[in-house]
Amino acid sequence: RSVLRNELPGAEVMVISNREPYIHNLEDGKVVLQRPASGLVTALEPIMRACGGTWIAHGSGSADQTMVDEHDHLLVPPDAPAYTLRRLWLTDEEQDGYYYGFANEGMWPLCHIAFVRPTFRASDWEHYVAVNQKFADAVVAEAKTPNPVVLVQDYHFALLPKMVRERLPEATIITFWHIPWPNPEVFSICPWKEEILSGLLGSSILGFHTQFHCNNFLDSVDRFLECHIDREHSTISAGGCTTQVRPYPISIEWPPAALSVQPPVEECRKSVRKGFGIGRDTMLAVGVERFDYTKGIADRFHAVGSLLEAHPEWIGRFTLLQIAAPTRSRLSAYRETQDEAEKAAEAVNKCFGREGWLPIILVPRHHEPEEVFTLFRAADVCLVSSLHDGMNLVAKEFVAARDDDDGVLVLSTFAGASRELREALIVNPYDVRAMGEALHMGLSMPAEQRQERMRLMREMVGENNIYFWAGRMLLDAARMRKRHNIEHRIA
């Protein structure tokens, strides 16, 4: 907020994302508010609560349309209104082509090296272009000033920066890509690679989680577009527009709102074990994800099998509680992921389970942030085994939940978070035996070492929190605006 007040006085802030921060669903005739399982929303929502402005998103809940006024605007959060949520409605055809098709069957597997073949259909592309245009129109219609700060989120909107730039040339457009960016070889299979790249180059600033993804992007532009690249300053100039490409590792609110309503750790340990029928003295690992093939859920179940085989002393004394929210279930790759994970859990349970004890408890439903934080506080270990992940905020939330400075994080080397959370036990999720050993190490770690590691990780997340992330981008944007003003005065 202070960066906005001091460095960008009077600037209007607009966020554009596919996912909305508050979903209204109809359950038994009643409207029930849900907060989506989305790293993007976890990160951006506290910023909007602090800064105010307008968030434009796709209205996705079964009761959403009943919750808005005739102009589709809603003041949120419901209990302490701070910013405007403008929802756009998409037809089933648009949703199939733009979201399920191009974004999630094309761009998602293209950018994650998870060995699911990307599918590109001309009809999906047409919807993707049309929906990007629809959102760009909404930005122009909602903008109250000629130079708003527009925060574009993710792979759903690669074309929107250029579309907005053409109509609001003075806007400061900050685009953040929440998923990895592949190398040029991989990227080259996208039939609309030039359009995607030049769409993104409508941004003033383009952010990725890591320097590695920035380099991949610069290399892709170098290979496929005619433009000037200044590697030293990490800028790209094309069509009279300059884009700065920078790493901004995303983070979470600190301290997280969900922490303020948590009972003491000892109570969480007892209530979670009781609630799930887990023995009082059983060591507990937790996993919390969406049912996505990039998260390596079946792999971690195999790792539990490997742990119990190599270290039978844990039989009857250890349980992995896996929460997995079904997601994008219209796509076969996602249904298969859930199927495969359920089968893997069953196999391990059948092999090692016994009367009154299961090594894996799989709960395939959405959980609200407060419930998730209670699980984190109840756990001895949190297991994040993504096969490929831009950042992974579950790892950071686990650390944030542990104000008792305890608990062990086992973290995939292929999650962006492993670059920052160096005191986690870093694993290769493709190596099931090594993951089993890391679990063993985590479960056996002396208290003093656990606490030392957790304290260092908490320091890291506490300092590099979501306000720091947003502040760095906004400061870079402010410098850019000032430079632009000086150049205009000189001209």
Which residues sit at the interface with ligand F6P, rule CB under 6 A? 18-19, 38-40, 154, 178-179, 327-328
Query: Residues 27, 32, 35, 37: what is their CA dihedral angle, to the nearest 10 degrees?
Result: -10
In the bound complex, what is the minimum distance in angstroms from residue 175's beta carbon to ligand F6P?
Answer: 13
In the bound complex, what is the minimum distance in angstroms from residue 154's beta carbon to ligand F6P?
Answer: 4
Beta strands in 365-407 (DSSP E): 381-384
Question: In this structure, which amino acid lies at residue 483?
Answer: R
Nearer to ligand F6P, 19 or 35 (CB): 19
- Cβ-based neighbours of 88, under 8 Å, separated by 6 or more: 56, 57, 58, 59, 72, 134, 135, 138
In the bound complex, what is the minimum distance in angstroms from residue 157's beta carbon to ligand F6P?
Answer: 10
Distance CA 112, CA 390 (A): 8
Question: In this structure, which amino acid lies at residue 412?
Answer: S
In the bound complex, what is the minimum distance in angstroms from residue 39's beta carbon to ligand F6P?
Answer: 4
In the bound complex, what is the minimum distance in angstroms from residue 11's beta carbon to ligand F6P?
Answer: 24
To the nearest 5 percent, what fractions of the chain are helix, strand and coil?
A: 45, 20, 35
Nearer to ligand F6P, 18 or 54 (CB): 18
CA distance readout (Å), 490 to 303, 366, 369, 483, 484: 63, 56, 51, 11, 10
Tokens of 231: 């590697």
Nearer to ligand F6P, 18 or 204 (CB): 18
Nearer to ligand F6P, 289 or 437 (CB): 289
Nearer to ligand F6P, 107 or 362 (CB): 107
Nearer to ligand F6P, 179 or 358 (CB): 179
CB 161 within 8 A of CB 203: yes
In the bound complex, what is the minimum distance in angstroms from residue 458's beta carbon to ligand F6P?
Answer: 23
Q: What are phi and psi of 87, to 5 degrees?
A: -105, 140
Q: Which residue sits closest to ligand F6P, CB atoms considered?
A: 38
Nearer to ligand F6P, 118 or 316 (CB): 118
Q: What are phi and psi of 356, to 5 degrees?
A: 80, 0
In the bound complex, what is the minimum distance in angstroms from residue 184's beta carbon to ligand F6P?
Answer: 22
Residue reference for tokens 């979201």? 99
Nearer to ligand F6P, 314 or 398 (CB): 398
Q: What angle do CA 309, 313, 314 make, to 5 degrees?
A: 75
CB 335 within 8 A of CB 329: yes
Beta strands in 97-240 (DSSP E): 149-153, 172-176, 205-208, 228-230, 235-238
In the bound complex, what is the minimum distance in angstroms from residue 103's beta carbon to ligand F6P?
Answer: 8
Tokens of 12: 């209007």
